[in-house]
Amino acid sequence: MTLAKIENLTVTVRKTVKAPVEKAYKAWTEPEQIVKWFGCDRVTNIRVVQDFRVGGEYRIVGESCQGGGDMAVYGTYEEIVQNKKLVYTWSNESVEFPAQNTVVSVEFIARDDNTTEILLEHTRFASENSKLGHNQGWEQSLEKFANFVAA
């Protein structure tokens, strides 16, 4: 019974962006581009440190617009398939929307009309509240991402 509940605590977001798959993939994986779109509307001044390889670690830090200092997410890259797929762990120290060793999977699906479909799944949330908070954050981030890559 518990396993079924955990399996249901998954965020799934699909977004088609007006950019070829190579451009979308680079925007998702290069720190100088990540800082321009990452984060919900409550985070500014994004900074990224990463060792972009399987087994490498990343850390994304931003300032909370609501006070309270920096907010960080971090983890390890588990799978990297250039221009196709990324899988990485995701943890944070949020009290409101905690995430410890959750997993993010992002697929980049090339479409005929020079667009890319992004399929994001974020799994292993420990609570419905954390899942809902991350869902909101991913939807806001993907909207910013779509605007960034279309420019």
Summarize pLDDT for 14-68 with one digit per residue, the tens: 999 999 999 999 999 999 999 999 987 778 899 999 999 999 999 999 987 666 6
Alpha-carbon distance values, 110 to 30, 34, 113, 119 (Å): 19, 20, 9, 11
User: Please, what are the domains in the chain?
Assistant: 2-150 (3.30.530.20)
pLDDT over threshold 90, residue 93: no
Residue 2 pLDDT class (50, 70, 90 cuts): very low
Least confident segment among 3-7, 64-68, 128-132? 3-7
Alpha-carbon distance values, 28 to 93, 97, 100, 127 (Å): 22, 23, 22, 27
Residue 69's pLDDT is 74
Q: Which residues are bridge partners to 73 per DSSP?
A: 60, 92
Contact 49/70 with Cβ under 8 angstroms?
Answer: no
Closest CA to 46 of 24, 61, 66: 61
What does pTM read for this prediction? 0.91
